[in-house]
Every structure is written in structure tokens, then in C-alpha cells.
Amino acid sequence: MSAITLATLNRLKTERKRFSMLTAYDASFAATAARAGVASVLVGDSLGMVVQGGSSTVSVTLEDMAYHTACVARGVAGAGKAAPLIVADLPLGTYYTAEDAGRNAACLMRAGANAVKLEGGAFLAETVRFLTERGVPVCAHLGLTPQTADMLGGYKVQGRDEAAARQIQDDAVLLEAAGARLMVLECVPDAVGAAVAAALSIPVIGIGAGPGTDAQVLVMHDMLGVSPGRKARFVKDYMAQAGSVEAAFRAFAEEVETGVYPAPEHCYG
């Protein structure tokens, strides 16, 4: 079967059909996500916590990301289903300049990524443009940005007041204009998620951003109920009733597509 591409996801947004994204860090879980109908997999630097056991994402290296991206690419290629689009995080410190971003994005693309993700707002517009002009698809990331969570006062909801909400939307519009092809929006009130999705022509993938976004993403370990520490409000444990990992992944994909997830208890009003 043909792979899912950026054009596929753009078409889903145009047709107002929701789609799912899950993190994956190895071949086996990536293949399982593909068989379950998940449209995109994110090789996230969240692996620093859920795989490596760290307290944040900041210790993850480019070498770590390239290794796990290659594992995921092999997994989806051998799944026997439509291969999900692979997005890989550029870790902290690898895109301080546009030249750094270009060199390091090329490393992840060679490992098997279809797009790279960067965290940050308007200051990244030139970097996004630099990458786009050189043929590297970019997924922007706004709202709560885990790589710089300490600067934001910890893992807190962003865009609570009118000025902050407007800044997120303005940054989103600017990054799309610079060439971003996807947008992840994390931990914002429902109204902000819906406003950003309505303002952009590219797909907006929410995590704790309410039901108004075009897609939903969760960290795989969170939705399987195996992550250490306190569970975020937006997390739903799909493993509790699914009976298998593949069934849990499929239930998540189906609930996103039908609008069952996220429910009000998963959202920030």
C-alpha cells in the first residue's frame, strides 16, 4: 500500500476528516501503529523520559534521534499497511542557527524522517524558511514547548490570557507563511486550539489543545498507561480496556477520527 504523505494529511484537513498521530521509538511499536491505522508517527525527544528514564527531553542528542528514527522507518516499511508519515524531533541545541538546522535535519531525513519538528515561535521563521527552501518539510510546535519548559515556568497550560493566545495564533500564521507544513499545538485552552486550526491551511495536531484541531497526538507510553509520574489531564489510558497494544492504538485512531477523543475531561477550558 502507498505511504501516507503530507499531501494525504492536507487532503484530510480540507475534507474535515480528523487523523491520529502517536509517538514511536522502535520498529515493533511503529509497525503496530501502522497496522492499527495511525496516520503519522512522531519520533519524539520524549524518548528522553519514557525510554531513557530522564526527567526531561533536554538530554536527548541528535545521535539518539537518528538511531530511533531509523528504527521507526524500518518498522513502518515492513508493516504491510500504508506507512504512516514519520516526523522526527530536532533535539535541543541542534537548530540554534539555520545552518545547524539544515545540517541536522538532513541527518534525520537520511535516517528515514519525512519531516522534522522544531519548537518555538516567530524567531524560528527564518529557520523554517531556510529548511523549506532546501526541501526539508517542517512541523512547527507551539504552546507548551517541552525543550524550554523551564522558561515557561514548568509544564503549564499556555495561552490562558488574551495576549498570550493572540501571540500563539500570530506565531502560527507566521510560521505557516515561512513554509511550515504541519503544526503541533500543546497544552492550550480549547478556544486557542480551534482558533489556530481555523486560521491555518496546514494541519494542526493537538495534544491537550481541545477537539477543534485537525488531529490529535499522544505519547505512546502515556496512552498505554505505562509512563512514570503524574498523568496529564489530556491523557486517556486506552490499554485499560483494549486488551492488546494494537487494539489500544486502533481505538485511539478511531476515537480521534470520530471525534470521541478528546472528551471534555481531557480539555482545558
Annotated catalytic residues are 186
Amino acid at 125: A
**Phi, psi values for residue 46, rounded to 5°:** -60, -15
Q: How many angstroms separate the CA atoms of 117 and 207, rounded?
A: 15
Sign of the alpha-carbon dihedral angle for 59, 64, 65, 71: negative
Residues 6+ apart with CB under 8 A from 74: 27, 112
Q: What is the DSSP letter of 179?
A: T
In angstroms, what CA-CA distances link 220 with 12, 23, 38, 42, 189?
A: 23, 5, 12, 10, 22
Asked if 251 contacts 258 with a C-beta cutoff of 8 angstroms, the reply is no
Comparing CA positions, the residue from 182, 180, 5 lying closest to residue 76 is 5
In angstroms, what CA-CA distances link 157 with 112, 147, 187?
A: 32, 15, 5
- Which residue's C-alpha cell is 480528523? 18
Element (H, E) at 23: strand 19-23
Q: How many angstroms separate the CA atoms of 149 and 22, rounded?
A: 21
Quick count: other Cβ atoms within 10 Å of Cβ 246? Answer: 16
Asked if 113 contacts 62 with a C-beta cutoff of 8 angstroms, the reply is no
